[in-house]
Structure 1
Amino acid sequence: MLELDHENGPNPKCFYTSSMLPSFVDHKQIPSKKKPFATIGGRPFVHTVDLLLPQENEDALLQTLGDAHGSFTYAKVYMKPSEVVTGDFFNHYIKTGNILMISEGRPGIDHTFSLVEGVLRLEVDKATYERLGLAGEPIPCAGRKHVKIRYAIELNLRLPEMVRGHKGFDRIHWAFNNVLDRSVTWLFYDLKGSNDGAGPMSIHQPSMKTVQPKTETLHQVTVPSFPQTIQPDDHDIAAELLEWLTMVAMDSPRVRSEDHLDSYLSRYQVPDISENGVSGGSNQDLVRLRWHGLVPSWKAQEIYLAALKASGDGWFAMHAYAFDGSAYTVLQDKQHTSTWEYMG
């Protein structure tokens, strides 16, 4: 793993990994512990997935994704935290089911809540933490000055003792009814259900949201040659590739072949990477597909596998952005995989 940072600077925030995929990947039994699958599955949900690939492979991708072209549905619902841990909602979706939930709020500023695999995570300020009376841990702030201490509380709601009448569970109810007693907006996805608004959540009048990929054609993009290996000390190449992929995803005019902006205004140049002493690159029409909403990890993985099948010996790249500011980028060129992980 390559760390993209200065040796004497703060803790590294961007990690690069180079790996090789096997010649055949079984879509039903993927190597989930190896990158990039470990990276994709390591974030239960993200809010945006961007897929970049040559336009010539677009039809094959859409055919692989199926008639719905990778669309799916999630819900937006208004609930108090206390309503998450009571009644049929609690029994159906948490005790016996499996859902993903994330609340509104700015990470690091507002109170934020998330629910993954039955674990409810609360991130609150110090004053609220002291009023709640629930055990938690301070959130590391990496030595940043003028940042108020915040606390994280993780409650495993699937434990056998999480039932009414148990002292610990009753304490959670008290905290939610007396401290975190306001309704907040949640995004909701049922990993086991149909996500049609039916079931116990229907009493909360959910608003159903359908995520469909938005397609945009990027004409005459200068595409560098992609190295099949990157050495541990090749920080510059890894950083330049990531910069180029990010600018393409943003549809920056700086990566277009017809761009002739004065170098006084922008010094950016598409990286000229040589492989075995021979530099390459070409101008290509690309397609960017964007899924925006509550995107669960299984859907991001499905998108990656569809692109892998549709691209054949070609290349594609996928960006994913999480709610907490973290992100990852995967560049696939033939069997070579480059993975960047940014920790916000």
Structure 2
Amino acid sequence: MLSALQVCPRHLLVCEKSSFLHEKSRHSTHVETHYYNCCVSILLPECGLLPGKLKHVIDGMGSYFVVRNLPLHEFLTQEFNDRFIKKGLFYALSYNTRVDQDNCAAVLPGKLVLSVNKDTYEELGLEGKPSLYSGKPAMRHIVTIDLTDSAMSPGGKKFQRVNWALTEKKPLTFDFLLAWDNSEEPSILSYFSKYAVKECPFRISSSVSKNLHSPVLKSEELHGKEGESCSATEFFEWLGAVSNNIDCDNESSSFISSFCCPEPNILIEQTHLCTITGFITPVKIQQLVNQLREYFNEPKLSQWVSLMVHGFADSPISWKESEHGFFKGGENLYSFVIFNNEDYWLQMAVGTYDGCPP
């Protein structure tokens, strides 16, 4: 029993530094290919009130939708393809499904992804691949359908096979979270009106911490420098604690909690934490990143701000089309530390059942 308790689940944290001004900077790619986000937290040191421009972006993020009992074959129709797939960035994620136990589905720009159990996979009869995390023999399979493939046009053999599988052979119905980033086209609310669909506002909360010890950061010191700067890894742990309102003013010898702010650190008079919760698309996150870059257009007491993004624990994919699993907690998240000189740190973390972030 003791040896089992000593085994720590594997996790990955990838840290890199660059500049938004660098022509080969990958910051936009990382944001755009992490499709399913449930929470964004913004931390502003030496700030008691959200700046007007940032507040305007947050308040203008719009809404997302929940639709009940939506059949998967609705994503295959020519009308859906013409209205949504071809004209913007449409996202859907099955709601209240567990990726390690239930059938799950997701729509990312141009593709439908299914994560299904062995019985469902065999009943569907569609081409797929064994899940990386279901053991041998495989008890789960991943099916990816390219909705932009010319063979998926009505009348095509591939379309007929997929449509028959999802309408007659094994009809699959889910509750879905839906999001759409093209306000000029017909809305989700009207298109799915024959189903039980509800518009949901984002939940926004703010808090201000007084006299908070904060790590000293230097943009060029990703791995830290003793006595001068904390490392990206140390900062990532501290940021997680602050975002969850965990007390960091402990002694290393404390029995209850030995976690404390890494050295070197400074005392910050007030720190603003704003958290946005809902089905948040990459476009909205990119807008927040751009606004935080402009935050330093006027002189500030702090030299950095941060933005942390949490992915859904039960989404079938994390970055790009990498399969995502649950295991202990389903972690898949990333954070930006944005410095006043346009440098940034990017930290990407995943749990046991996930591939290395790109």
Using the size of structure 1 for normalisation, the TM-score is 0.81
Cross-structure match for 2:38 = 47
Q: How does 1:170-181 map to 2 (within 5 A)?
A: 170-178=160-168, 180-181=170-171
Structure-2 separation of matches of 1:199 and 1:91: 15
Contact 1:35 1:339 in 2 (8 A): no
Residues 1:261 and 1:220: Cα distance change in structure 2 (over 3 Å): farther
Post-superposition offset of 1:249: 0.8
2:167 aligned counterpart, secondary structure: helix
Which amino acid in the other structure matches residue 63 of structure 1? K
Q: Is it true that 1:150 corresponds to 2:160 in the alignment?
A: no
TM superposition shift of 1:103: 0.9
Residue 102, structure 1, aligned to residue 109, structure 2: no
2:182 to 173, 189, 192: 192
Provide, for residues 70-96 of structure 1, a one-character-per-residue CA deviation record: whole Å limited to 9, x for no partner.
431111112011222236334422355
Alignment CA distance shift 1:272-1:72 (3 Å): same
Q: What is residue 316 of structure 1 aligned with on the other side?
A: 305
Alignment CA distance shift 1:179-1:263 (3 Å):
farther
Q: Distance in 2 between matches of 1:196 and 1:164?
A: 24
**Secondary structure, aligned partner of 2:258:** coil
Equivalent position to 1:296, from 262, 281, 289: 281
Report the alpha carbon displacement of residue 36 of structure 1 after superposing the two structures with TM.
2.9
Given that residues 251 and 259 in structure 2 are in contact (C-alpha distance below 8 angstroms), is that contact kept between their aligned partners in structure 1? Answer: no
* Alignment partner of 1:224 out of 187, 211, 215: 215
**Would you say the 8 A contact 2:222–2:231 is kept in 1?**
no
Mark the runs of 5 or more structure 1 residues left unpaired by the alignment. 1-8, 26-30, 274-279
Instruction: Give a deviation string over 1:19-69, Cα, whole Å, max 9, x none.
Output: 2333xx9xxxxx6x6243332222123111111112527342x33442763
- Contact 2:224-2:232 within 8 A present in 1 as well: no
Secondary structure, aligned partner of 1:177: helix
Supply the distance in 1 between the matched residues of 2:234 and 2:176 (Cα, whole angstroms): 38
Structure 2 SS opposite 1:74? strand
The whole-number CA distance in structure 1 between the counterparts of 2:118 and 2:202 is 37
Q: How do residues 1-344 of structure 1 correspond to structure 2 at under 5 angstroms?
A: 13-22=12-21, 34-56=25-47, 58-60=49-51, 62-66=52-56, 69-78=59-68, 79-86=70-77, 88-95=79-86, 98-104=89-95, 105-141=97-133, 149-178=139-168, 180-193=170-183, 196-230=187-221, 237-255=231-249, 263-273=254-264, 280-312=265-297, 314-323=303-312, 324=315, 325-335=331-341, 336-344=343-351
Asked whether the 8 Å contact 1:57–1:310 carries over to 2, the reply is: no
Aligned partner of residue 227 in structure 1, secondary structure: coil
Counterpart CA distance in 1 for 2:224 and 2:123 is: 50
1:28 corresponding residue in structure 2: none
How much does 1:225 deviate?
A: 0.7
Q: Is the 8 A contact 2:93 2:105 kept in 1?
A: yes
- Residues 223 and 284, structure 1, Cα contact 8 Å, conserved in 2: no
Q: Partners in 1 of 2:88 and 2:287 — Cα distance?
A: 22
Aligned AA (1:239): T
Distance 1:87 1:303 in 2: 34
**Contact 2:61 2:284 (C-alpha < 8 Å) held by counterparts:** no
C-alpha separation in 2, matches of 1:98 and 1:228: 33
**Contact 1:71–1:212 (CA under 8 A) maintained in structure 2:** no
Give structure 2 stretches of 5+ with no counterpart: 1-7, 316-330, 352-358
SS at match of 1:221: strand
Inter-partner Cα distance in structure 2 for 1:99 and 1:89 = 10
What TM-score comes out, normalization by structure 2 length? 0.78
CA contact (8 A) 2:204 2:276 kept: yes
Q: 1:125 to 1:269 in 2, by over 3 A?
A: same
Pick closer, same or farther for the CA change 1:42–1:175 going to 2, 3 Å. Answer: same
- Between the aligned partners of 1:37 and 1:137, the Cα distance in structure 2 is 29
Separation in 2, partners of 1:112, 1:328:
23
Q: How many residues are paired up? A: 316
CA spacing shift, 1:296–1:132, aligned 2, 3 Å: same
**Distance (whole Å) between structure 2 residues aligned to residue 84 and residue 138 of structure 1:** 23
Structure-2 residue corresponding to 1:277? none
Q: Specify the code of the residue in structure 2 equivalent to 1:305.
A: N
Residues 320-344 of structure 1: CA distance to partner in whole angstroms, max 9, x if unpaired? 0112431101112323311111123
| Alpha-carbon shift at residue 300 of structure 1 (Å) | 0.6
Determine the structure 1 residue equivalent to 2:328. Answer: none
Which amino acid is 1:249 matched to?
S
Could you tell which deviates more after superposition, 211-220 or 109-118? 211-220
